[in-house]
Structure 1
């Protein structure tokens, strides 16, 4: 099939494009910069240039590429700032609102038959049990400071699922780790854990779901090729509380155990948003993705993945401060 990947040079795109090519698809990789042409060609894609926030440019590249499937992976995530979360995600939120609208409009005009979009598990309402399925309430009660970000994620989901003219699939990815992510060998979150700047706040009861970036890419290839329209949690097999996974990560990285701070101190360090994510977040079940997409994560649990991450950090000469 002919597939257009929007956001083809990001952490996900670098994993996804070569997998789609290896599966026999003709991939057109959309980037905002002509300087990324060589990277995209190296990944096996046909480079196309468009600013996702310019509707006429998006319409042009979609019309010229004539894709059967569009994969929406547009983000612009910079340094993480938990105290000002929505501000840190402002550009990504525009890509998730305006960019989504432009892609959908162009895809409809081009007769695209399948549209796959990125979402994020952390929008589940923080009520009830610790692990959520796709049928649980999502995005109706965002953490303070994440209102704009969660609203943008909801916009992606609602718009794609409402597009009756195509087969819309939304992938609620877990927290990424691996190459080119913030939890990669040289990522900012990895460095924060190594330097004991990532504490357990309060009881550390917030439940997180992770997925290795390569496993997320494999699930996305599956979503391009199969699966009924709808929402899928793309996460590993073990949702876990911060108090459980953070010490394991620190040990894997050869770092000292993370500090524990009261919730009040956590608010001063990470703001209310970070504190809520550390203490109240709900994880997600991958049962539907396993069943509906025929997908199984190679890194069944973050325990395996974090051990691998630690080995990579040591191989590159990293040493905890």
Structure 2
């Protein structure tokens, strides 16, 4: 198939494009900057330079390629500050709203058969069971600092799933870790753990689901080839509470145990979102993706993946 990857040079795009090429697909990688064209070629794809926030440029690019499938992986995340989460995601939120609309409009014009888009697990409603399936709803009251971000994620999902003219597929990825991510060998979050600046807040009962960036790419290839209309959680097999995974991450990195702070202190330091993510977050089940996509994560548990981060740190 001819596959158009929007966001080809991002963390997941760099993992996804070579896998699509290896699977025999003709891949065209869209990038905002002409300077990234050689990188796209090195990944094995034909470069397409276009501004995702310019409807005419997107329409021209998609019209020229005439793809069978579009994969929407557009993000542009600034330096992370939990107290100003929406500010860090401001451009990404535009890419998830305006950018999604531009891609869908261009896709409809050329008759794209399948449209695969990135979403995120962390917006699930924070009541009931600690592990959610695709049938569970997003919460109606996201943390104040991420209301715009959750609204943008909702826009992606609703727009893609309601596009009756194509097979719309939404991938709710877990928290990325691995090369090129903020939880990579030299990533922002990893450094915070090493420097003991990533505390356990309250009881650390928030449940996170992780996915290694390479496993996320493999699942995306499966969705391109075999996905049905709908939502898939793309996460590993072991959702875990912060109180469990954060000390283990510190241990594997050879760092001191993370500090524990009361919830009110965590909230003062990181805003409502930090307290919510540390104490209330719900994880996700990958049973549907395993069953329907024939996919399984190469890193079944974050434990294995975190150990790799430590090994890569030693080699560096």
Q: TM-score w.r.t. structure 1 length?
A: 0.98
Deviation at 1:141, TM superposition (A): 2.4
Match of 2:313 in 1: 313
Distance 1:157 1:194 in 2: 36
Match of 2:158 in 1: 158
Distance 2:161 2:251 in 1: 41
| Mapping for residues 168-207 of structure 1, pairs under 5 Å | 168-207=168-207
Q: 3-state SS of the aligned residue for 2:27?
A: strand
The reply to whether residue 88 of structure 1 matches residue 88 of structure 2 is yes
Distance 2:56 2:297 in 1: 38
Distance 1:192 1:132 in 2: 28
Q: 3-state SS of the aligned residue for 1:145?
A: helix
C-alpha contact 1:139 1:150 (8 A) present in aligned 2: no
Match of 2:224 in 1: 224
Match of 1:213 in 2: 213
Distance 1:139 1:53, change over 3 A: farther
Deviation at 1:227, TM superposition (A): 2.1
Q: TM-score w.r.t. structure 2 length?
A: 0.99
Q: 3-state SS of the aligned residue for 1:170?
A: strand
Match of 2:120 in 1: 120
Q: Which runs of 5+ in 2 are unaligned?
A: none
C-alpha contact 1:139 1:154 (8 A) present in aligned 2: no
Distance 2:289 2:142 in 1: 24
Distance 2:261 2:123 in 1: 25
Distance 1:30 1:249 in 2: 35
Deviation at 1:139, TM superposition (A): 4.4
| Mapping for residues 215-254 of structure 1, pairs under 5 Å | 215-254=215-254
Q: Which runs of 5+ in 1 are unaligned?
A: 317-321
Distance 2:194 2:315 in 1: 15
Q: CA RMSD in A?
A: 0.6
Distance 2:107 2:156 in 1: 14
Distance 1:179 1:150 in 2: 26
Deviation at 1:30, TM superposition (A): 0.2
Match of 1:292 in 2: 292
C-alpha contact 2:69 2:113 (8 A) present in aligned 1: yes
The reply to whether residue 143 of structure 1 matches residue 147 of structure 2 is no
Moved over 2 A (4+): none
Distance 1:28 1:103 in 2: 14
The reply to whether residue 57 of structure 1 matches residue 30 of structure 2 is no
Deviation at 1:285, TM superposition (A): 0.3
